[in-house]
Amino acid sequence: MQTNALEQARSVERPTRDEQLMRAPSAQRFWADNRSLLKDAWAEWEHSEAKGLGPNADLYDSRLRAAVEQAWQDPSTEGVVKNLWDEVFPGVYQAQFFNPEELKSLRDYLENVANADIPLRPPYGISLNRGGAMLDRRSEGFLAAPQFQSFYQSLMDSYMRPISRLLFPDVNGYDTQTFGFSIQWQADKDTSLRAHTDASAVTLNINLNLPGEDFSGSGVRFFDRATRKVEELTFAPGTALIHHGSVPHESMPITEGERSNIVLWLYGDNGAIPPLGMDVKPVSAQERWSLPKSQSDGFAPF
């Protein structure tokens, strides 16, 4: 590793906000040309400036963590995991995912990431503020800090994938690939995201707001294709919503304060998602609590 990678990364000339928003070729070249430098810089930053920081297993809700760990040891106990999720809208489930009392460690870490002055690509078309970042290594300019990547991969492999298979049986086989990004909705910046579906088999949205860190607006409105029912949901600190990517939804305008969250996707190789109404092949609990054999295909939805 270059010993001065951190200094080089901090001084490199980076693309403008407009170039990033427009996905200009110059911005794409910047991320491609500097991928190795940024990876080394994040490792150097973590070693020299972020020792002892970062999320760990204590971040998870204790009941969820215990149930998930038991299911990995004995998949026949997976019903305990399923019972922690409530269907709050057709095809949309909610549970306490992170411990609100431990969220500050993650938020402080992300604040340190924002202050690291290492180029970090925000999610295009959503928000170009300090709180937005790409989390998966398939993405340009992702958060490449090794300890964070270890946490992120464990979250996807140990939690999101088996829970998705448990709640949505049709995603099995369409969950080999991972994708993730963070957002910070701010009342004076990008405030909403119009109705859309995701290019995912399953989407997990986790609220990172701290207890007492209130905001107004910014609920997530869901649309049910069958009944045409519409409902706006809000979720408390550390709670998560999980649903098929094909469920139409939109983020409503935030009118006061800030809302921080991370959004995680699963999909199949080369972006494959389960067709609507497909026949579902039964799988065993052991298959649900297993890792896919596919390697990362390098495909990034955006």
Global pTM reads: 0.92
- Give residue for tokens 């990995």: 72
Structure tokens at 24: 């200009």
Contact between 159 and 151 (Cβ < 8 Å): no
Q: At residue 94, what are phi and psi to the nearest 5 degrees?
A: -135, 145
pLDDT confidence of residue 193: 58
pLDDT confidence of residue 286: 97
Between 16-25, 61-70, 119-128, 241-250, the lowest mean confidence (pLDDT) is in 119-128
pLDDT surpassing 90 at residue 16: no
Structure tokens at 301: 């939805």
Q: Which residues pair with 5 in a beta bridge?
A: none
- Taking all residues of the chain, what is their mean pLDDT, rounded to a whole number? 89
Contact between 250 and 194 (Cβ < 8 Å): yes
- Give residue for tokens 């070249």: 29
pLDDT confidence of residue 75: 98
- Give residue for tokens 């995701």: 198
Q: Residue 143: how many CB atoms within 10 A of its CB?
A: 24
Strands (E), the chain: 86-89, 92-96, 133-134, 177-186, 193-196, 202-207, 216-217, 220-223, 230-233, 239-244, 249-251, 254-256, 258-267
pLDDT in tens, 152-207: 999 999 999 999 999 999 999 999 999 999 987 654 555 545 678 899 999 999 99
pLDDT confidence of residue 218: 57
pLDDT in tens, 96-129: 999 999 999 999 999 999 899 999 988 875 544 4
How far the first Cα of the chain sits from its last, in Å, is 29
Alpha carbons 299 and 276: distance in angstroms, whole number: 22
For domain 57-288, give the CATH number: 2.60.120.620
Q: Which residues pair with 40 in a beta bridge?
A: none
Averaged pLDDT for residues 30-47: 96
